[in-house]
Amino acid sequence: MKRHSVEGFGALGVALVVASLLITLPAAGQAPSSAPAAKANAGPKAAKGYKVPRTAEGQPDLQGVWNFSTATPLERPSEFGGKQVLSDDEAEEFAQREAARTDHDKNPPADIVGNYNEFWYDGNKKVVGTKRTSLIVDPPDGRMPSLTPEAMKKDAALAEARRGVGRHEPTPGGWVEDLGPGGLQVRCIMGFNSGPPMTPAAYNQNVQLFQTAQYVVILNEMIHNARIVPLDGRPYGQIRQWVGDSRGHFEGDTLVVDTRNFLRETAFVGGKTTATLHLVERFTRVDADTLLYEFKVDDPSVWTKPWTAQIAMVKSDQGMYEYACHEGNYGLPGIIGGARVKEAAGKASNR
C-alpha cells in the first residue's frame, strides 16, 4: 500500500475545479514558433504486443493516478563513472544503501526542525526497471550539461549571500523573496517534486491525468496544482505563468506537452531554471501499469545545451489527496521572526 502525505482533504473540490476549467474558451495570443506535426510512432513505444487503450474520442488513454517515486537519482553518481546500467546485484545494493541513507527516523536532517518521520515518506526504495544509473538519458554521461557563465556567476553570488544561513532561512535582512533556492516551496507556491518538470522527491509523488477531446489535465498531488493543456492547436497566450503556458498534441501513442512562457523559476532542481525555460514532456503508456514520462529541458540562460531525462511512472490504485499547503502558511511569520531574532543576537554578540 502506498502512503500519501495528507495534511487536509478536498479531492472532490479539486476535481470539480478541474472539471470547470475544462470548458475554458481558447485564449488569443502569440502563435507557437512551430506548429506541432503528428509523427506516427514517434518517441518511446509500447511494450511488444501491448495495445494502448483508447478513449471514446480515439486518443491513447493515459488517465489514472501515476506514482513516480524511485531511488534512481536524476544525475549519475560519480561512483558509477561511465557505467550506464547496473547489474541486478548492483541495483539491489544501491537501492538498499539509498533507503538506509534517506531513512528519516535513523538519519533525520540536521537542518530541519520538527521534520516528518519515515512513515510519511513515499517509497524511493527501488531503482527504475531499466536499472539505469541515472534518470538523465542524454547526455550519455547521465549528468546535466555545464552551466553557462551567467548561471555560474549567479550560483556563486547566491552561495556567498547565504554563507552560514540555514535551509529555509532568509538571507540576512531578507524577506519572503530571500528564502533561498527552496523559497517557492516554503511559501507553498510550487511543489518541490512537481516542477515542472516532475522529478522524484520525498512524498506526494503522484500525478493524475484527465482527458477530454480538447484538453488534458495534469494534476499533481504536491501543492495540488492542475495544468490545463489544450489540444486544439490554439496559439500561446501572452501571460507568463508559474508553471508556464502548455500546449499539447499526440504523436502516435505519445502525448507531447510543449511549455513556455514561464513567469520565473519553478521548483525544479532547486529553482535553477529561469523564465527562458522551454520544456517538452512526453507521456507514453508502455504497458497496463507503466507510463513512461520523458522531459527535455532547454534553458539557454542556465545550461550550455538541452538535456533529457526519463521516469517510468507506475499505475496506482490509490486515490489522490489534497496536500493542504498554501501561501498563507502560519510558518512564514515564525521563519521571518526567527531570522530577525537570530540577526539581532548576532549583532549583539559582535558589539
Residue count of the chain = 351
Q: How confident is the model at residue 29 (pLDDT cuts 50, 70, 90)?
A: very low
C-alpha–C-alpha distance, residues 349 and 343, integer Å: 10
**Residue 218 Cα to chain centre, angstroms:** 12
C-alpha–C-alpha distance, residues 276 and 83, integer Å: 33
pLDDT tens, position by position, 143-180 = 999 999 999 999 999 999 999 898 889 999 999 899 99
What's the rounded mean pLDDT across residues 300-328? 91
Q: Which residue has the cell 497496463?
A: 288
Q: What SS3 state is found at 150?
A: helix
Q: Output the pLDDT for position 152.
A: 97
Which helix or strand (DSSP H or E) is residue 96 part of? helix 88-101
C-alpha–C-alpha distance, residues 303 and 145, integer Å: 6
Q: Output the pLDDT for position 38.
A: 35
pLDDT tens, position by position, 270-311 = 999 999 999 999 999 999 999 999 999 999 999 999 999 999
Q: Higher confidence at residue 38 or residue 19?
A: 19
The answer to whether 191 and 7 have CB atoms below 8 angstroms apart is no
Query: Does position 15 have pLDDT exceeding 50, yes or no?
Result: no
The answer to whether 289 and 265 have CB atoms below 8 angstroms apart is no
String of b and e for 117-134 (b: at least 16 CB within 10 Å)?
eeebbbebebbbeebbbb
Q: What SS3 state is found at 99?
A: helix
The answer to whether 70 and 124 have CB atoms below 8 angstroms apart is yes
C-alpha–C-alpha distance, residues 59 and 303, integer Å: 35
pLDDT tens, position by position, 65-123 = 999 999 999 999 999 999 999 999 999 999 999 988 888 888 887 767 677 888 888 76
C-alpha–C-alpha distance, residues 223 and 154, integer Å: 28
The answer to whether 312 and 127 have CB atoms below 8 angstroms apart is no
C-alpha distances in Å from residue 187, one per residue of 8, 29, 211, 325, 332 = 17, 30, 30, 8, 7
Q: Output the pLDDT for position 205.
A: 93
Give φ, ψ of 325 to 5 degrees: -115, 135
Q: Output the pLDDT for position 350.
A: 76
Q: Output the pLDDT for position 239.
A: 95
Average pLDDT over the chain, rounded to an integer: 86
C-alpha–C-alpha distance, residues 278 and 236, integer Å: 13
DSSP class of residue 351 equals -
What percent of the chain is predicted at pLDDT more than 70? 85
Q: Output the pLDDT for position 23.
A: 40
Q: Which of 85, 64, 41 is nearest to 313 (CA)?
A: 64
Question: Nine-digit cell at 306?
Answer: 538541452
First-to-final CA distance of the chain: 57
Q: Output the pLDDT for position 44.
A: 63
Q: Which of 208, 213, 215 is nearest to 229 (CA)?
A: 215
pLDDT tens, position by position, 175-197 = 989 999 989 988 889 999 999 99
Question: Nine-digit cell at 144?
Answer: 546535466
Domain boundaries, the chain: 11-23+47-349
pTM of the model: 0.85
The answer to whether 6 and 323 have CB atoms below 8 angstroms apart is yes
What's the rounded mean pLDDT across residues 243-248? 98
What percent of the chain is predicted at pLDDT more than 90? 62
